[in-house]
Amino acid sequence: MLKGKTALVTGSTSGIGLGIAKALAAQGANMVLNGFGDVDGPKAEVAALGVQVAYHGADMSKPDEIAAMMAYAAEQFGRVDILVNNAGIQHVARVENFPPERWDAIIAINLSSAFHATRLALPAMQAAGWGRIINVASVHGLVASAEKAAYVAAKHGVVGLTKVTALENATSGVTCNAICPGWVLTPLVQKQVDAKAVALGLSNDQAKKLLLGEKEPSLQFTTPEELGALAVFFCSPAGNNVRGVAWNMDGGWAAQ
């Protein structure tokens, strides 16, 4: 379905980003990966799906590096047809104890990077008459949790950016939508599970159940594969008039 298209997924060397990248590649999209840590493994996983794969290691907190990444993607493949803004970090603390530098980093990577990548991707999409911008927000873009001030603020901002981008392009072939996952067992969430297990003297499985039980009625993690399937839907003809939604895959979290 996406043969001949190019997708760029930020924060795609693991977790949700890699799951979405693989789902889009399975539909034939050439891929630009971005992120830290192991690069060769994720590149090989995506290339095994029969598409061309490139990588750019832009630090998503730095606008000039984001610009270099977008220019690199255009150089490699002509343009970015599908942009998935997924890069994110987390820090947990009460507002009065929240380190200002952590606030700045979370806003930069979780929110500002989506703005910078989007503004640079839009002109080519508009000229082509087709484009898909998918912002990975969070259920925390819809509701709040204590001790996550920066993350919740950033993800609410991502949902707002999604709506504005969708409205500004509403009569074009360019759509913008947000995915709002609940708990996904990414390395980021596994750290929270580990911390809970240590703090409360629980096994890892007990800590997972406790984490899910606090928020997610389904008592199951959403998977990167499920999120990837939703991204594919947004890129399909069925998604042509889906514009500006914040689609939660959260096991009933926001329904409470």
- Given 3-state DSSP classes, what are the helix, strand and coil percentages for the chain, each rounded to the nearest 5? 50, 15, 35
Q: How far apart are CA 215 and CA 174, in angstroms?
A: 34
3-state DSSP assignment of residue 234: helix
Which DSSP string do the residues of 3-43 spell out, in sequence order?
TT-EEEETT-SSHHHHHHHHHHHHTT-EEEE--SS--HHHH
Q: How far is CA 17 from CA 177, 217, 250, in A?
A: 16, 25, 17
Q: How far apart are CA 128 and CA 136, in angstroms?
A: 24
- At residue 75, what is the residue type? E
Residues paired with residue 93 on neighbouring β-strands, in sequence order: 148
Q: Structure tokens of 127? A: 């000229």
Q: How far apart are CA 157 and CA 113, in angstroms?
A: 12
Q: Is 72 a known active-site residue? A: no
Q: From the candidates 55, 151, 234, 253, give the one annotated as an active-site residue.
A: 151
The answer to whether 134 and 179 have CB atoms below 8 angstroms apart is yes
Q: Structure tokens of 24? A: 């889009």
Catalytic sites, residue numbers: 151
